[in-house]
Amino acid sequence: MTKTYIFLLSFFLLMNCASKEEEIYTPIPYRLEIPQIFADKLIAPIIPTNNPLTEEGVALGKKLFFDKILSADETKSCASCHNPKSAFSDNQQFSLGIDGEFGFRNAMPLFNLAWNFDDRFNWDGSAFGLENQAFEPVSNPIELHANWKNIAKKMQNHPEYPNLFLRAFGTATIDSTLITKAITQFERTLISGNSKFDQFLLGNETLTPEEENGFNVFMDEAKGDCFHCHGSNNNPLWTDNQFHNNGLDSNFTDVGLSKITGDPADNGKFKSPSLRNLAFTAPYMHDGRFATLEEVINHYSEGLKPSATIDPLMKKIDKGGVHLSTKDKTDLKAFLLSLTDLEFVNNTAFQE
């Protein structure tokens, strides 16, 4: 009798465990929509093996990106400084934190992040890996100024979030690691690859004579000589994702990459931003000092300032710049604006 009881008890326990295993939800893999121009010219995007994209993870990340619960006083979200209509940048020179303090660098736009093959983020490369980049603003005293444990506790007591995390990650226990994993899943879906120039490269569009000359100026080492840092028809990211001293200053109040590496040879070096969507991402440079594209072009044309760490690619530093003609400046701007992706900034999948 005892043996029969033990057998039945074991049977029901095993059946109960099997039933619970069957109840475990399996997230649906998310399929990235990779533009044809990227598929043709770039290697596959970087997706960490410990944070694969899923439908549930991306949806949760999107909800978190727009949720002000991530700030200490629930007044700001990630989207407060990375506006989808501004190609996920901030049109203020410096972003305003919850305590009324301004940062000291312009908010970088967010797109094509999965193709940052060196996996170094921020103007100064201070974050290695996108998950680490997403972690810092929440606790930053100038930005969202929150305590991660408090944020996790608020979400744990939220009517929706525990179940959303359970479906996305298989656990209803919320912590900062899972929060940042979800946010970065959403961020990796922010892909911009459908500008007029992309369509031109695919044979579906024709450039104006001004845009065509502007591209030639961009590529000409005797004129604009822009392609070394900012991509080309063969690098549709329109950035090398590297760090350069591009002659903004002779003396540095912000040393950039050097603060991270500790190497004085890196003084004044900042990441080359993508030239996509410049119509939406003003002001420009790491400190937002230039309000217009004309100012940016004028800087490279006749505003370069020498310093000990000036990039060798600034070949005409001794002349103060490349000295473009008025027409070449105008046409260069026309080309740069042909990198505008209207579909990206109007994509409802990327908006609240």
Q: Name the nearest CA neighbour of 307 among 317, 296, 299, 321.
A: 317
Give how far Cα 119 sits from Cα of 126, 215, 323, Å: 11, 28, 35
Q: For 194-198, what is the mean pLDDT? A: 98
- pLDDT per position as a tens digit, 7-25: 444 444 444 544 444 468 9
- pLDDT per position as a tens digit, 117-152: 999 999 999 999 999 999 999 999 999 999 999 999
User: Which token pair is 149?
Assistant: 């444990």
- pLDDT per position as a tens digit, 47-63: 999 999 999 999 999 99
Q: Name the nearest CA neighbour of 251 among 310, 319, 302.
A: 310
Q: For 244-266, what is the mean pLDDT? A: 98
Q: Exposure of 148 by Cβ count < 10 A (0-12 exposed, 13-18 middle, 19+ buried)? A: middle
pLDDT of residue 24: 83
pTM of the model: 0.92
- pLDDT per position as a tens digit, 320-352: 999 999 999 999 999 999 999 999 999 999 999
Q: For 75-87, what is the mean pLDDT? A: 98
pLDDT of residue 16: 52
- pLDDT per position as a tens digit, 180-193: 999 999 999 999 99
Q: For 245-254, what is the mean pLDDT? A: 98
pLDDT of residue 42: 98
* Cα angle for residues 17, 20, 23 (degrees, 5° grid): 155
The percent of residues above 90 in pLDDT, for the chain, comes to: 93
pLDDT of residue 96: 97
Query: For residues 227 and 47, what is the distance between their CA atoms, to the nearest angstrom?
Result: 27
Q: Exposure of 319 by Cβ count < 10 A (0-12 exposed, 13-18 middle, 19+ buried)? A: exposed
